[in-house]
Structure 1
Amino acid sequence: MTSTSPHAAPDAPPWPHCRYGATADNVDVGCRGRLVEPHTACLAHLGDADRSGYLAGLHPGADLDHRGTPISEELLSGLLRAVMEPESARVRLGHALFGLAKFYGNADFGGVEIEGNADFTKVEIGGDVDFTRAVIGGNAVFVEADIRGDAQFSSADIRGYAQFDGARIGGHAQFARAAIGGYAWFARAEIGKDAQFPRARIGSDTWLASASIGGHVQFGGSILGGDAAFRGATIAGDAQFVGAAFEGDATFRTATIGGHADFGGVTFGGDARFGGATIAGDTTFRRVVFEHIATVGPLVCTGALDLTEAVFATAVTIEAAAGTVCCRRTRWASTAALRLRHATVDLSDAVLEYPVSISAQAKRFTEDGREIPELGLTDPRVRAASLRGVDAAHLVLTDVDLTDCLFAGTVHLDQLRLDGLYVFATTPTGFRRRGVVPVRWTPRRTLAEEHHWRATRPARAGGWNPAPGGEVPLEPAALAPVYRQLRKAFEDGKHEPGAADFYYGEMEMRRHAHDIPRSERALLTAYWALSGYGLRASRALGWLLGSMAATVLVMLLWGLPKDDPKPGKPIALTGRSVTLTINRPEPVNPDQPYRERLSTKRFEKSLRVVINSVVFRASGQDLTTAGTYTEMTSRLVEPALLGFAVLAVRGRVKR
């Protein structure tokens, strides 16, 4: 050793960077706390001549054992040059042991071939660590490592396992196209920015349980050979797994994702557990094949839960609180139960091979006995947006709001089953204006499609909801069969009031359809005006009372004769029979002033005629010719109006 070495001073204090307090008195102990050759005790504290001699003694394939050593970028470059093969300029070494070492600046091992293990346990790296295209024949261990910059392992080939438990990485963790033969453990790791594993291949388990990631997580196109655990992980940005393959189980229980979670095209070879997961953005499972999954959730997704073109091969229960749930062209090859909160569900063209139920969950979902917070979600109702293209014979909806649901194009709609508290769209309430004419719609259940069509009519009254953007309103001829099938579904379910509303809607669409002959439309219009298709008791009773009032007035003015016929005097005979023929005079039309005809006596007689006419009976009253024809007309019209009113009441109270 030269005189510049700290070993030359017998009473020198411990070396400032030695973790084990090595001094000149225990030089053979060195910074690693074990017996080593004197010249390897602490490379940073060797003199220039000793250091040069040490580096000259290295060769390609040699071990680098500098645990607990402070290493500058210049010193690291010298070490790697010392183990470089002259012919190929390839850096090749045996074991790389740098546990507890401290790197001042970057630690660049890019392209290095390490035949043994790379041990960086509890290492401190002031800048980036770079293993791009490096080959590690053994394990890469960075347990509790402190890396101030990025951890770059793109295209690295790690034949053993990669262990980063408790590691702290201030920048990005980049493992793009990396190959890890064993497991990759990042349990409790802290990554300040993104954790990127696109197209990586991991032979065994991938463990990010309880990890904290300040940016995005990307596993797009990766192959994860064992189980993947993200339980309790906190991801500040997006989690992207597009095209990844999970060959084992995937666990995201109680994970928190601050952005979107994209699992589009993912293959789950085992189970996937999302219980208690919270996702601030959208969650996408487009074209995902769930082969063995029995439960998805309960999870909370503030945005949209997208199951478009997903395939569920086995029976599954989906529990989710989400803004929207999109199941377009989703296929259920077995039974399924969707228990939802806050969601608007779109089932357009979904394939239901077995019974599928969609129900609103009244209480918040729980995981491990604790409620899952529903951040940003306020209205717990579940709404259906579309059932177009769905075979409703296998569908059960419970406590679902159908106000904006599109039904046209649903297959077997007459077999749809509705349970619990369900809500349809209704007609506008209160008085509206159609031009200058005030209009009041009678409340009834309607289809959202009828709202869309009526909102396009030029002379419409207000209050009808227009079609959403991109949606073409359907014509009445296309809506009449939809109402007819829903009516049958309600009749089969013994819900007569609901069936009556859909019968009304069916008749309304027929009345406005252009393919119906005018004569039939005129008949339907009369039927609508008189009694609301036999469903509006108030309208029929109004016409009945009006008809009775008109009949009474006609009887008062023209129907009752001027004078009542005089009764004959009785004849008493004893022991003889007498035949009398009496010529009853014809009733005389009244000719007195109209005011005199409106007497109480004439009103009582007129009322008796009208009441008898309502119950289809003759009054037996002497009437003028006008009165006779009026009575005949009222005996036809008024019982029919009374029948319409009774029919309407019966439709509302029938079981």
Structure 2
Amino acid sequence: MDVTGVASFGAARFEGGACFETVRFEAGVRFGETQVAQDLWFEDVEMRAEAWFHRASVGGTLRFSVREVAGDAVFEELAVGGDAAFSGTEFWGIARFAGAKVGGAAWFDGAVFHEDARFDGAEITRTAWFDGAGFHQEACFDAATLKDDVSFQGARLHRGASFGAAVIGGDAGFGAADVRGDLAFRRATFQRTATLGPVVFPAALDLSDAVFESAVTIEAAVRDLRCRRTRWASTAALRLRHATVDLSDAVLEFPVGVASRSRPFLAEDGTEIDEEGLPDPRVRVTSLRGVDTAHLVLTDVDLTRCLFAESVHLDQLKLEGRCPLPLPPAGVRWRGRAPLLWTRRGTLVEEHHWRARRPGADGWTPAPDGTDVREPAALAPVYRQLRKALEDAKNEPGAADFYYGEMEMRRHDPDAPGGERALLHLYWAVSGYGLRALRTLGWLLLAMTATVLAMMLWGLPRHDPDPVSTGRTTGDTVTLTTRTPDPVNPSGPYAGRLSSERFEKALRVVINSVVFRSSGQELTVAGTYVDMTSRVVEPALLGLAALAVRSRVKR
């Protein structure tokens, strides 16, 4: 049946149900403020113009089996006591469901929205099905209340979707969905959501200011995951791929794990979900600022761009698997005429930002626009707390890098006392804060070489003094006195003192001094002082070298 004029049922009252079957409405359809006590069915219907159901009320089920609505579809403040089914309907105009209330489940599977789809403030008591639906323009669910599960399996969201301040009572599924814009859940509340995802698309998943009231598993392969000021009131597991994660000011009341997943997520049929547009599977955490990390576990995530300053309880942060940190510039750098070889160690990106501002600091990463640059006094406690976290996890080699960073920040702190900074400079130059074995062994070799040379030139006497015995006889008594003459200082040209015999004696003296033993060699006054000095310096250097080796192999 064709209806050529406007079909108006505005404010009509149906004591029972109503059914429209095999009808084509050529003009507008108006059910504004209509009340239907029982079911309202539209079977095999076409609407060639707008459909107006503003403030309509259906006591039972609304079955909207309409092939297409050519104009705007207005269902604002619609009230349905039972289920509402819009499966397969094609909406060519704007679809407005703002403030609609559905007492049962809502079915939009296979529906196509060519213009904006507005579900602002809508309330759906049971599951909301959008499987296979197509959203060509904006899909807005801001402030909606979805009391049960919401499913977008295989849906096509060409411009993403917004769930700002929405309330989601159950799981949210986006398996095999084609999402080409951002998914925004800003200020959303997840009441009993056990699973969010898997979500796979090359844009942003925004959970900023969202609240998760129950234990949840979030599975996402996205370009960006924003969790700024997100609050987890229960345990959570974030299983991610490709994502750049921002956890600034997030609130973690229970253990939360952020882990990199090695393989793509699986669809319901067991096949891997395509990750087109997401070429790099690494997960990068970019900020932990303002986070109480006592409940945070990071597993196999990239920390090369992570901001740690202003975090709380960093000493309780757990780092599992491989969590790389930024390295200093590779190779030799030149400052004026002096070469600098940066020590290869794990650093904080905040240290990169600070060093990049200094003259001659080529190769260090500058701070992005809008990022505060922290001074050494602020970074030293960060290094200290991270060192303790790794020490508690029995990761001594990793903790050694953080100790090195802490000492570097103390050494460069302009507000530290001058004497302390001088000692730290000496400690750094001699042994790399007790962490660089090769540097210490180099100084030990140099010290031993200098000591050997000093012994050959001034420390060994010209000749080993021979004991001289004198005596006297008194009756039947013979008294003998043995005296060793003082060593005679060497004389003559220096080249003549550099003989193999004197080298062997000097080497024996130096080796014995390293292990606190006496060689028994007679020395000149100068040699005695050189030997005393070497007995203090060289064993200390040997001990520092042993300490550096231990810090790299201890578990």
TM exceeding 0.5: yes
Partners of 2:437 and 2:480 lie apart in 1 by 52
**Residues 187, 637 of structure 1: CA spacing in aligned structure 2 closer, same or farther, 3 A cutoff?**
same
Matched residue SS, 2:334: strand
Residue 446 (structure 2) aligns with: 546
Q: TM-score, normalised by structure 2?
A: 0.91
Q: Deviations over 1:152-199 (max 9, x none)?
A: 326252535543336134454343444555543221223345433233
One-letter identity of the residue aligned with 2:45: A
Higher RCO structure, 1 or 2 (CA under 8 Å, sep 6+):
2
Q: Is 1:492–2:392 an aligned residue pair?
A: yes
Decide which of 30, 35, 51 is 1:131's aligned counterpart: 30
**Residues 648, 248 of structure 1: CA spacing in aligned structure 2 closer, same or farther, 3 A cutoff?**
closer
Q: Is 1:355–2:258 an aligned residue pair?
A: no
Residue 145 (structure 2) aligns with: 245
Contact 2:466 2:485 in 1 (8 A): no
**Aligned ranges for residues 296-307 of structure 1 at < 5 Å?**
296-307=196-207
Contact 2:123 2:144 in 1 (8 A): yes
**Residues 216, 436 of structure 1: CA spacing in aligned structure 2 closer, same or farther, 3 A cutoff?**
farther
Contact 1:320 1:340 in 2 (8 A): yes
Flag the structure with larger Rg: 1
Q: What is the root-mean-square deviation in Å for CA atoms of aligned residues?
A: 2.7
Deviation at 1:145, TM superposition (A): 3.1
Partners of 2:169 and 2:491 lie apart in 1 by 100
Partners of 2:44 and 2:357 lie apart in 1 by 67
Residue 338 (structure 2) aligns with: 437
Decide which of 47, 51, 68 is 1:152's aligned counterpart: 51
Partners of 1:276 and 1:467 lie apart in 2 by 38
Q: Is 1:109–2:26 an aligned residue pair?
A: no
Decide which of 296, 316, 329 is 1:428's aligned counterpart: 329
Partners of 2:490 and 2:93 lie apart in 1 by 104
Decide which of 544, 552, 555 is 1:652's aligned counterpart: 552
One-letter identity of the residue aligned with 2:459: G
**Residues 454, 577 of structure 1: CA spacing in aligned structure 2 closer, same or farther, 3 A cutoff?**
farther
Q: Return 5+ residue gaps in structure 2 as ranges.
A: none
Matched residue SS, 1:544: helix
Residue 370 (structure 1) aligns with: 271
Residue 196 (structure 1) aligns with: 96
Partners of 2:458 and 2:117 lie apart in 1 by 93
Contact 2:293 2:313 in 1 (8 A): yes
Structure 1 window deviating more from structure 2 (630-639 vs 235-244): it is 235-244
Contact 1:277 1:297 in 2 (8 A): no
Contact 2:260 2:299 in 1 (8 A): yes
Residue 168 (structure 2) aligns with: 268
Structure with more strand by fraction? 2
Residue 75 (structure 2) aligns with: 175
Q: Is 1:584–2:484 an aligned residue pair?
A: yes
Q: Is 1:282–2:157 an aligned residue pair?
A: no
Partners of 2:272 and 2:21 lie apart in 1 by 39
**Aligned ranges for residues 269-348 of structure 1 at < 5 Å?**
269-348=169-248
Contact 2:11 2:31 in 1 (8 A): no
Residue 467 (structure 1) aligns with: 367
Decide which of 392, 411, 427 is 1:511's aligned counterpart: 411
Contact 1:305 1:324 in 2 (8 A): yes
**Aligned ranges for residues 354-433 of structure 1 at < 5 Å?**
354-368=254-268, 369-433=270-334
Structure 1 window deviating more from structure 2 (507-516 vs 135-144): it is 135-144
**Residues 166, 124 of structure 1: CA spacing in aligned structure 2 closer, same or farther, 3 A cutoff?**
closer
Partners of 1:405 and 1:577 lie apart in 2 by 90
Contact 2:92 2:113 in 1 (8 A): yes
Q: TM-score, normalised by structure 1?
A: 0.78
Q: Return 5+ residue gaps in structure 1 as ranges.
A: 1-67, 77-107
Q: Deviations over 1:390-442 (max 9, x none)?
A: 22221111111111212222222111112122212222221122233221111
Deviation at 1:589, TM superposition (A): 2.4
Q: Deviations over 1:305-358 (max 9, x none)?
A: 111222211111111111122222222222111111111222222222221111
Contact 2:207 2:225 in 1 (8 A): yes
Residue 523 (structure 1) aligns with: 423
Matched residue SS, 2:390: helix
Partners of 1:291 and 1:498 lie apart in 2 by 39
Contact 1:383 1:400 in 2 (8 A): yes
Deviation at 1:532, TM superposition (A): 0.6
One-letter identity of the residue aligned with 2:189: V
Contact 1:144 1:168 in 2 (8 A): no
Partners of 2:325 and 2:455 lie apart in 1 by 48
Deviation at 1:125, TM superposition (A): 5.0
Q: Deviations over 1:114-139 (max 9, x none)?
A: 4457755444456x534274636476
**Residues 169, 371 of structure 1: CA spacing in aligned structure 2 closer, same or farther, 3 A cutoff?**
farther
Deviation at 1:249, TM superposition (A): 3.3
Residue 449 (structure 1) aligns with: 350
Matched residue SS, 2:325: strand
Contact 1:151 1:173 in 2 (8 A): yes
Percent pairwise identity = 54
Deviation at 1:651, TM superposition (A): 0.7
Q: What is the aligned residue count? A: 546
Residue 13 (structure 1) aligns with: none
Partners of 1:307 and 1:356 lie apart in 2 by 15
Residue 532 (structure 1) aligns with: 432
